[in-house]
Amino acid sequence: MGKRVAAAAAAVVVLAVGYEALDVYDVLPGPLTRAAAARPAVPAPGKTSVGPSVPAPTPATVSPIAAADGPQQDPAKVKAQVAAALGKPDLAKKLGVVVADGKTGQVLLQQHENAAMTPASTTKLLSAWAIGNTLDLNKPLTTKVVNGSTQHRIVLVAGGDTALNPGTGDPEHVNGHAGLADLAAQVAASLRKAGTTSVTVGVDTSYAPGPLTAKHWDPDVVAAGYTARIAQLGLSTERATDPARPTPADPVASTQQAFVKALAEQGITAKAGGTVTAAGDAKVLGAVQSSPLLDVLGNALQASDNAMIESLARQAAFHDGVGGSTADVTGWVEKTLKDAGFDLRGVELADVCGLSDGTTIPPRVLADVLLSGTTGKNKPFAEVLTRLSVGGYNGTLDNRFLQPSNDSAAGDVRAKTGSLTHVASLAGTVITADDRVLVFAIISNAAKSWGPYGTRAAIDDFVAALQKCGCSK
């Protein structure tokens, strides 16, 4: 009996540790990481929402960045305001912090700002800057089907959309915006006009090709479903959001099979063929489009979707004539930022999503990238910033800023989270009690056997202290 109890207890511990690991990778909703009640969506400017179809909070609840134009904050008052929060024991002794005025760029507080620290998923901000300044944020991603080399062959052409709905598209959302059932209906109509009712479906993956995983990703992390594989074609139902639903070993093949099934539902007998390259002048039999890229990128940031960010960065690098290997894409992100004038001393990218060991970014660089958007110097990234998760409402911040010590900041914080076993980071914007936009970047690197939960709460308390700041000169 004692052995059975011990075994059961051990099983609970294993499950808890596994669950914590998933949470640490910003993947799994649940009691450790999400509020019990669903939070309302916060649609940002654009054609589509990145959340469920529910009314958005009023502007008085979620503060618009552009509307906040209060008086400048005094550095001495800011430091005094957050001193207690920065002294909390859950924060690492070597804590990297930068706080700056979002409009002027004036640095209000900094410590260890140039330290090369492990940033986790705040790495995605650098990648998002490079993507947003390379690709047209207003254009959607197109998935099409064209004629193949013979009457009974067609080709599914990948175009970068990794959130295709297996059924009909949902025009109100980013995830599943375009649907394979809609594509199949178009293709079936074209085939019937030509008198064809049986086809082999090849797939063209010549757009932004590359490996299925980043070079330095832990194979166990990928196998466990903490991230999907990197592809230019994938299903909305197979993103890495639920460990009970493993991600496919080959997203392209999975999508191809789903399309074959969708054709069958349209009365077309179909089977999956091999990989082919479609002719440039091949007749288009059907096409569906994603949300505008701005919404897709925003969805990837809100969900902290490692594979989607890697895919989008690979597409942007491909646009610039760069290959799809990890070294190619990380090198492209760094070069794009350097060419734009950013000081990248201390930056080392092992991937472009923040999942791999070996990535370092100083807090100063995160702040500089954010400031390029808030100061108006970079319009594409200013748009991207409107898509960041809102504290207490959506994305990976939907469960944050809900405690009595920090809930005053809910709705006033837009930021990118970063979480690994020994890392907790947050970088974004906060609107103060004086109605002034501040940029902040905070990274805590410390070995804590129980995980970063206390550190996350301490970081939220720090940002809430900034939000409460009536620190005008």
Residues 469, 431: contact at Cβ < 8 Å? no
Confidence at residue 67, expressed as pLDDT on a 0 to 100 scale: 60
- What is the C-alpha separation between 462 and 90, in angstroms, rounded? 12
pTM beyond 0.85: yes
* Distance between CA atoms of residues 179 and 167, nearest Å: 5
Q: Do domains 62-119+360-467 and 140-298 have the same CATH topology?
A: no
Query: Each residue of 44-73: b (16+ CB within 10 Å) or e?
Result: bebebbbbeeeebbeeeebbebeebeeeeb
CA dihedral 425, 428, 431, 432 (to 10 degrees): 40
Distances (CA, A) of 455 to 176, 237, 419, 461: 34, 32, 10, 10
pLDDT of 77 reads 97
Residues with Cβ within 8 Å of residue 304, at least 6 apart in sequence: 26, 27, 121, 124, 395, 396, 416, 417
CA–CA distance, 365 with 98 (Å, rounded to integer): 9
What's residue 277's pLDDT?
A: 95
CATH of domain 140-298: 3.50.80.20
In the three-class reduction of DSSP (H, G, I as helix; E, B as strand; rest coil), residue 429 is classed as strand
Nearest to 347 by CA among 125, 93, 26, 110: 125
351 C-beta neighbours (distance < 10 Å), count: 26
Pairing of strands 437-445, 95-101: antiparallel
Domain residue spans of the chain: 62-119+360-467, 140-298
Q: Looking at residue 78, what is its pLDDT?
A: 97
The strands making up 198-204's β-sheet, listed across from edge to edge, are 269-275, 198-204, 153-157, 140-147, 284-292
Question: What is the structure's pLDDT at 228?
Answer: 95
> How would you class 13 by CB atoms within 10 Å of its CB: exposed for 0-12, middle for 13-18, buried for 19 or more?
exposed
pLDDT, residue 44, reads 41
Which residue bears the tokens 């805590």?
444
- Tell me the average confidence (pLDDT) per consecutive run of 10 residues in the chain, 473 residues long: 31 33 45 35 40 35 66 96 94 92 96 97 98 97 94 95 97 95 97 95 97 95 90 96 80 98 97 95 96 96 96 98 98 98 98 97 98 94 94 93 94 94 94 95 77 85 96 88
Task: State the Cα–Cα distance between residues 309 and 67, nearest whole angstrom.
Answer: 29
Classified by CATH at the fold level, domain 62-119+360-467 comes out as Beta-lactamase (3.40.710)
Supply the pLDDT for residue 296. 97
pLDDT of residue 473: 79
Report the pLDDT value the prediction gives residue 448, as an integer from 0 to 100: 58
Amino acid identity of residue 138, one-letter, is: N
